[in-house]
């Protein structure tokens, strides 16, 4: 039952926003009593926490699969973008904004875990790209991985990139191109341009 509660709450939080969804709403959707939810979660904050870190682990597993199967680090970044966009497809709420505003402690801990995961993942990807001759050999891998994390985090901030003006997919596409054009060799740029051309047609 705990897993079912998390799954339903996750869908509702992402669609409607964690702040606006009540424990009653979740119980009604599942056809159970609110008391059943409280057997597993002592309050809504604990449920939000469980949902947030369950989603984080799910996305991390998906990213690991992409990293293990992608043809090269350039395709890897675009496949990860597709994975994230598919997960958020048709979701109307802004989970990052709501967490930051209403559950700042959970947001802070999530941000740290995201950094730990992405910092390692991006460093490995950058080094792989250097070894394949796709990324510049003079890159400061540690620094660039931090630039990348900060940039990806930044474009999700609706204070600076309002959703009424900027579509998230457009933001991610633009940031990836911006990032890759800064670090690719001529060989890497050729692969990037091929990717961009094939996805425009």
Q: How many whole angstroms separate alpha carbon 179 and alpha carbon 181?
A: 6
Percent of the chain with pLDDT over 70: 96
Domain 44-200 part of CATH 1.10.10.10: no
For the chain, the structural domain boundaries read 44-200
Q: Which pLDDT band, with edges at 50, 70 and 90, does 88 fall under?
A: low
Q: Which three-class secondary structure state does DSSP give residue 201? A: coil
Q: Is the pLDDT of residue 42 over 90?
A: yes
DSSP single-letter state for residue 133: T
The long-range contacts involving 57-62, CB below 8 angstroms and separated by at least 24 positions, are: 58/87, 59/83, 59/84, 59/87, 60/117, 62/87
DSSP single-letter state for residue 134: S
Q: What average pLDDT score do residues 96-122 get?
A: 91
The structure's pTM equals: 0.84
Contact predicate 134/181, CB 8 Å: no
Q: Is the pLDDT of residue 94 over 80?
A: no
Q: How many whole angstroms separate alpha carbon 196 and alpha carbon 201?
A: 9
Of 104, 91, 64, which is closest to residue 10 (Cα–Cα)? Answer: 91
Q: What average pLDDT score do residues 172-187 get?
A: 97
């Amino acid at each position: 039952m705990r897993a079912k509660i998390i799954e339903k709450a996750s869908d509702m939080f992402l669609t409607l926003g964690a702040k606006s969804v009540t424990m009653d709403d979740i119980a009604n959707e599942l056809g159970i009593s609110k008391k059943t939810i409280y057997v597993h979660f002592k309050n809504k904050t604990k449920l939000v926490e469980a949902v947030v870190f369950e989603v984080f682990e799910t996305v991390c597993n998906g990213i690991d699969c992409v990293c293990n199967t992608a043809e090269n680090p350039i395709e890897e970044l675009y496949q990860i973008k597709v994975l994230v966009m598919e997960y958020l497809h048709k979701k109307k709420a802004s989970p990052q904004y709501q967490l930051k505003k209403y559950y700042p402690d959970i947001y802070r801990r999530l941000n740290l875990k995201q950094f730990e995961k992405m910092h390692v993942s991006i460093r490995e990807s950058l080094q792989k790209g250097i070894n394949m001759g796709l990324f510049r050999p003079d890159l400061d891998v540690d620094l660039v991985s931090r630039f990348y994390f900060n940039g990806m985090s930044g474009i999700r901030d609706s204070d600076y990139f309002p959703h009424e003006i900027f579509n998230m997919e457009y933001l991610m596409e633009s940031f990836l191109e911006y990032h890759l054009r800064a670090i690719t060799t001529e060989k890497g740029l050729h692969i990037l341009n091929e990717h961009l051309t094939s996805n425009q047609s």
